[in-house]
Amino acid sequence: MSDASYRDAIFSTPLDRMARFSFDEQVVACFPDMIRRSVPGYGQILGMLGLIARRHLRHGAHVYDLGCSLGAAGLALAGTLPPAAFRYTGVDLSPAMVARARETLAAECPEHAVEIVEGDIRELDYRPSGMIVLDFTLQFLAPEDRDAVIDKLFAALEPGGVLVLSEKIVAEDEQDNAWLVERYHDFKRANGYSELEISQKRTALENVLVPDTLAAHHERLARAGFPRSQTWFQFLNFASLIAFKDARYGET
Ligand code: GEK
């Protein structure tokens, strides 16, 4: 077994109360296991990226994957589309993620035009793109930085372009939200996480992962200029939205 498939046991022993979640080597080693066991619908969302690209991506267009972690979206696209169909740039702030993503993509899809850039998605000089994937990353930015990033993505998208935005969300109604969070914890228990792991991860993510409501996401997309967006997937308190650069659904 390669160390890329280590089981996530980061929060299985009592930690200092101040420990905050960060994307370091320890997280990278167990990341594929962690994200599959803790993000409901992660595999389904990845699986749809290639199908969305097939419908909306002009042949040879550029794709960004922002907060790419280990480049899972790039792998998913390469699994569905031939090498000439797209050029892919994954961007991540964590040097440990970037190093592992480069190794993985070089090994898994050597024929495809893929690159991984170490950088901050708030500061990137974006090139024109046909599709932008922002999966489970906006939630880690300070709330006051989110509008400016979405504004830049709208500007970077070419006519007919699409933004796929996947996020942990919070429900507007307190009771609805409590129900979703409780069932989410059931989901994690069913995936083998202990009470200690669930509560420690929750504490570590406090003030690090600040979720928005679905309405806040759609409003932000509209403010940035997207004439049309919809929620195409939701599983408990995790959702994926698609936003269209044009008012009419462009299809290739
Ligand atoms: C996947 N999309 O597998 N700039 C660039 N990267 C950042 C920034 C930033 N400002 N802030 C955080 N990150 C992936 C999963 S994980 C989600 C995304 C999770 C990066 C951070 O280093 C990490 O790799 C990623 O965003 C979030 O579909 O771990 O829950």
Q: What is the pLDDT of residues 93-106, one digit of tens each?
A: 999 999 999 999 99
- Please report, rounded to a whole number, the percentage of residues in the chain having pLDDT higher than 90: 76
Dihedral (C-alpha) 184, 189, 193, 199: value to the nearest 10 degrees?
Answer: 60
Contact in structure between 65 and 133 (CB atoms under 8 Å): yes
User: The whole model's pTM is what?
Assistant: 0.91
DSSP single-letter state for residue 206 = T
What burial letters (b/e) apply to 96-105, b meaning 16+ CB within 10 Å? bbbebbbebb
Segment 218-241 shows an average pLDDT of 98
pLDDT at 243 > cutoff 60: yes
What is the pLDDT, as a whole number, of residue 7? 78
Distance 67 CA to ligand 1 centre (A): 4
| 68 annotated to a ligand binding site | yes
Phi-psi region of 90 (alpha: psi -120 to 50; beta: other; left: phi over 0): beta
Ligand 1 pocket list (CB less than 6 A): 23, 35, 67-69, 72-73, 91-94, 97, 120-122, 135-137, 140-141
pLDDT at 224: 98
User: Does 42-171+208-244 carry CATH code 3.40.50.2000?
Assistant: no
Mean pLDDT to the nearest integer, 148-167: 98
Question: With pLDDT > 70 as the criterion, what percentage of the chain qualifies?
Answer: 92
From 66, 92, 98, mutation site for ligand 1 pocket: most ligand atoms within 8 A of C-beta: 92
Domain ranges of the chain: 42-171+208-244
Q: What is the pLDDT of residues 7-55, one digit of tens each?
A: 777 666 655 544 555 767 777 878 888 898 899 999 999 999 999 999 9
- Closest atom of ligand 1 to 39 CA is 30
Q: Where is average pLDDT lowest: 119-128, 183-192, 197-206, 221-230?
A: 197-206
Query: How high does pLDDT run on average in the chain?
Result: 91
pLDDT at 10: 65
Structure confidence at residue 16 (pLDDT): 55
